[in-house]
Amino acid sequence: MGKKWALVAGGGGFIGSHLCDRLLDLGYSVVAVDNFITGSWDNVAHLAGDQRFQLEEMNAVNVGDLAQRFDLVFHLASPASPIYYIKYPIETLHSGSSVTEALLELARRDGARFIVASTSEIYGDPLEHPQKESYWGNVSSIGPRSVYDEAKRYAEALTMAFHRSFGVNTGIVRIFNTYGPRMGCEDGRVIPAFIGAALADTPVPLHGDGLQTRSFCYVDDLVEGLLSMAFSEEHGPINLGNDSERTLLSLVEDIIMLTDSASSIEYLPRPVDDPQRRRPDLSLARRLLDWGPQVSFEDGLETTIRWYAEQRASRSSEEVETAMRA
């Protein structure tokens, strides 16, 4: 059997870098493509000595220039937090449009299985709870978050068009809130924001009254879900996430306790179009993919807090060394 190749667009990102690790574990040679507007070299630095891993700093619209012939193509190339997709609105829209088309053309060229990472944001501020894949959503097409929502909607439509028109072997997954090591400290999403403040003993920023809910999936579970979809014949969309729901206020309280922090809670205005409740219906994932989350929230959160504490200690050490050399 010849060498198996996988392309991970967004391979320098939080989820993408973990996916690269697992694909290498499974015996694939991996090409990671990233333009690094939100990804980080640090996320894949540990793979630098692996001859089966190739990192290309490039815009994913140019993937057709790559010489390899791929068996799997994963599209995770997009800003994924409100801070970044509001900062990079045009790039975010392109990630759903021109980048998706380029990656689909590559999959079409190579006869590869194509998996696109869509999002729970498809459902907007949902009127259905929990959210099934059949739900069409409650989304503003012109709000500040719309560049992300609509980019993902277009990516889904384009993916299905390539499947119907050209027979491309495609799969769509809708990812719910994911957390874990390598999510950027300045990412702006709630878990890094809460942990960062708690570790610094500064007020933890909580937008709104904290009674809005989310369902958090540990990154290792999410990656296994992506692989389960890739190795299936399903086209989706299929929700991937964790169906254990909790309030943001309870999350803050847990993080303050686990970090033994002296932080208080700072209540701030709630963002526009911020969903009130978010929880996936995982019936399809369990039935069609034989997949469901395995890591408990408590274990995943403790691992994540340790990682952020290590990053904080490392940065402090570097700052001391820099000051001493000055």
pLDDT digits (tens, 9 = 90+) for 28-54: 999 999 999 999 999 999 999 999 999
Question: How many domains is the chain built from?
Answer: 1
| 323 pLDDT higher than 90 | no
Domain that residue 170 falls in = 5-180+216-244+274-294
Determine, yes or no, domain membership for 124.
yes
Determine, yes or no, domain membership for 153.
yes
Determine, yes or no, domain membership for 186.
no
| Average pLDDT, integer, range 279-304 | 96
- pLDDT for 195 equals 95
- pLDDT for 81 equals 87
Catalytic residues: 148
- pLDDT for 188 equals 79
Determine, yes or no, domain membership for 254.
no
Determine, yes or no, domain membership for 309.
no
Please give the Cα distance from 13 to 58 (Å, whole number).
Answer: 14
Please give the Cα distance from 9 to 15 (Å, whole number).
Answer: 11
pLDDT digits (tens, 9 = 90+) for 206-236: 999 999 999 999 999 999 999 999 999 999 9
C-alpha closest to that of 294 among 257, 239, 241, 254: 241
- pLDDT for 326 equals 56
Q: Under 8 Å CB-to-CB from 224, ≥6 apart: which residues?
A: 22, 291, 294
Determine, yes or no, domain membership for 206.
no
Determine, yes or no, domain membership for 303.
no
Interhelix angle 98-110/89-96, rounded to 10 degrees, is 30
Determine, yes or no, domain membership for 190.
no
pLDDT digits (tens, 9 = 90+) for 137-189: 888 899 888 999 999 999 999 999 999 999 999 999 999 999 999 998 788 78
CATH number for the domain harbouring residue 155: 3.40.50.720
